[in-house]
Structure 1
């Protein structure tokens, strides 16, 4: 199982919206690197949901429920179905991730505008060690 991170503006679509709806089509991704991440997702992979904007924190976990497929509304994009899994025991602010300096080479830290990306295994271990995942 692989892990990914997907950013969303909570005013547009939040972890609470995903929890209420149970599943959603994750769309609107156009950056080639982010689309590549979506295309690499497989059934059962987990996706950390990140609230961008004022909050800037990882807030929950979703599961990939479908194979990725071309976006029927945008030839430059791909979509995937995500299902709600859980909230984290506490949000993990971007500030905390940056201040640790353990993940300075991760796209979340280096490419702040990238909306979807793989998550390093070391980060998942760090979350599990802190019992937040």
Structure 2
């Protein structure tokens, strides 16, 4: 099982939305590196839900990958902000996966707290200027994150 960190703005799609829906397509990814990370996900992988572009940003919950290798339907919808006129049904450019809600954490683990506990080499989200919406999390860092998030 691999671990990931996946960012979303809470006012656009937050952990509470996911909890209400139970699962969601994680669509709208329009960065090739983030797309490639998503393409390497496997069913059963876990993802830390990170609220971005909010004060304070940080990890708020945990999700599980339940379906992979899904063609992102938003790329074909001309009314979607994620529409890609270069994509076609014969040659789609963007993928997505389905994630299932697992839980909220008792408290947010803020970006400042992450920076206090991890180097940029240990956890990519703490690297200044890192704007990728999907990042891999090394097993040792995932273990440490879970310890920090589950402690009182």
TM-score w.r.t. length of structure 2: 0.80
Name which of 144, 149, 152 aligns with 1:126.
144
Measure, in 1, the Cα distance between the counterparts of 2:147 and 2:49: 19
Which position in structure 1 is the counterpart of 2:88? Answer: none
Which position in structure 1 is the counterpart of 2:49? Answer: 49
SS at match of 1:43: coil
SS at match of 1:19: helix
Q: CA deviation at 1:131?
A: 5.2
Measure, in 2, the Cα distance between the counterparts of 1:40 and 1:82: 14
TM-score w.r.t. length of structure 1: 0.90
Which position in structure 1 is the counterpart of 2:120? Answer: 104
Contiguous gaps of at least 5 residues in structure 1? none
Deviations along 1:6-56, one digit per CA (max 9) or x if unpaired, are 100000000000000001000111111111111011111111100001231
SS at match of 2:24: strand
SS at match of 1:59: strand
SS at match of 2:73: coil
User: Moved runs in structure 1, 4+ residues, more than 6 A?
Assistant: none
Aligned residue pair count: 132
**Higher-Rg member (1/2):** 2
Q: CA deviation at 1:76?
A: 3.1
Contiguous gaps of at least 5 residues in structure 2? 76-91
Contact 1:39-1:69 at 8 Å conserved across structures: no
C-alpha spacing 1:70/1:87, structure 2 compared with 1 (3 Å): same
Alignment of 1:5-16 (within 5 A): 5-16=5-16
